A and B are shown apart, each in its own frame.
Chain A
Amino acid sequence: MKKVLSVLLVAVLAVSLMAGCGTKGDSVTIGIGQFAEHGSLDNCREGFLAGLAEKGYVEGKNLKVDFENAQADGAIASQIANNFVANKVDLICGIATPMAQSAFGAAQDKDIPVIFTAVTDPVAAELANADRTPVGNITGTSDKLPVEMQLEMIRKVLPDAKTIGIMYSTSEVNSVSAIEEYKAVAGDYGFEIVESGISTTADIPLAADNLLGKVDCINNLTDNTVVSSLPVILEKAAAKNIPVFGSEIEQVKIGCLAAVGLDYYDLGKQTGLMAAQVLSGEKKASEINFEVIDEAAFYGNSAVASNLGITLPEDLVSSAKEMFDTISE
């Protein structure tokens, strides 16, 4: 036992020694922490690296990227953030709210700038002041949903619809605030919102059956839990011939009828450009206000439309940033 332990201990020390010996030269090291794994956040990360590359920070050349995914576990997110800080990375990028908060919490007073992205409400998350100025050595981009444009689009596609069902997880702040916003403006477009809160992925099939019995269409937020189980909802909705609207490109790709949404790749890219400014020393993170993407694009899926027997309005199709004619798995 003692031998086993001492071998283990030596191994632990050796690994931590190696981990500690990052060489720094001309190249910079950044830590990217992503809270969960799904299409939008992955796109965000790719966009982020593209933005950095545009400004001359190319991964593998003069940029070392330490990427970690917390798999939606809050304790792991904080561990990841602590590791980045301990390894003294030059900058931390936190993707999605809990990861951004963990990074900010860990890097506070440690002189490591934090750039966040895909945070719906940075002010509510206390990552920025109400006037968009930074609360510390932190800035980034928000992925606030274009709620009114989405409702306007749904009205155009379904002129007779009265109720919109929205499923969300009660444990995600972003979704809760999005629901509030939908409820506040839905009346202006003649809709009534039927919400259905869930706690875990396991609740989704039952909640979907229940919701589909009550609504004319379903609208999807960027809720991490719901999005990761979207295929389940899509299948059930298709069986009942009820259209499902998405909130961004990835969701339309896998079978939502249409979406007015952000391009997370663009969002990530915008964030990457901000990070480049910080890395080059042009500006400090504490001097940059957080940014939002004002433009939202229309995405449609014609294969889904023909399955449902719906024709997407011509003006929407012609203005689309991207139309899909297949449903990808």
Chain B
Amino acid sequence: MTFPSALGPPARLLRRRIGTARRDTAFLAAGVLPHLAAVPAWLSLDAKPVLKSVHLPWVVLAALVSVFLLLPLLALPLTAVQRWRYAELLAVDIPRSPPAEGPRLRRALRLLVSAETWRRVAYHTLLGPVLAVAEVLVLAVWGAGVVCATVYAWMWAVPDTGVADLYTVQAAYVTAAGLLLLAAAPWCAGTVTRVESRAARALLGPSRAQRLERRVTDLSVSRADLADAADAERRRIERDLHDGTQQRLVSLAVNLGLARATLKDLPEDARRVIDEAHREAKEAISELNDLVRGLHPAVLDDRGLDAALSGLAARVPLPVRLHVDLDGRPAPAVESVAYFVVSEALANVTKHARAGRVEVTVRRTGRVVRVEVTDDGVGGADAAAGTGLTGLAGRVRAVDGTFRIDSPVGGPTTLVAELPCGR
């Protein structure tokens, strides 16, 4: 914990530098032994003493066993040690590979032949010793720096040895060199630490392909979750409006209707006000119905796409031809998106196309549900410009579908969405 008011910015900077240097150096010092751990495995391959006593085939066999069995096995604990070292001393997380599946023996065999294992073996056997040398060098820079920088103290403390014979001028050079080494040591430690981290991530962590694969899996799962959540939200809003506002409005209209029917002896202007309110209430019901109907109708869950679409198409104020040819019901998410596509497309046609007629076709071919909406209107619809169409394309893509719109100026407009449906 630092106290900002007590320490100025330069002092804080220095403190942070020192902290980093200490952390890097401790991290490197802890790496020397684990990085040298695989060296005995190399030494065991030095076959000369063995050659004299045993037959060649046995030597080859021993070498093969040690390379193909011992090294991968050795790599397991060593990798665990390194992962611990990175996590504890550097707070760097080396990602683990996804856990393998299947019976234990097959898992073990797969581990022995996997590229991942051999990348680890390469880290511990080939790179490890090199890193150990670099770590020792960094420690040596620190050591030499400390010794040289304090040369006057040595001259004073051990007067009888050769150190004391240094001329004071030479001792000044040595002190300066020591200070330079001490200044350079944090940089050296930092550089080696960075190189090690990069190497560890590349060789001990999952490969790029594995990382991407996992990312793709994560993303598709989260995207599907998101689509489902949006769907559930739409259903919830529909339910809430249906049970709340819509019933309230109908009740209001019914009461106004009752007033109109039963209060016959009202003055003329009172009657007019009631008539007006009655009509307004009915219009509000119709408008709200149109809006809510586009969300997620209950009939879609109960009876499927075909039944839901006829209700939608009947609301369009121009002739609609509807063909639905589905063999069984697609997944609810697909039904929901297909419904939404037709709903938005028809709304668009009504608003912008100035069309004489619309044709809606929903057909399943193999594993794809194809939704096609064609109108004979003025064309010129642009998926990039209209927010309705952009939302449509987004929702189709969220279930891995494709969306395209062909709308030359002057028409006709054809909108096609293809939705994969697994089965």
Q: Do A and B bind each other?
A: no
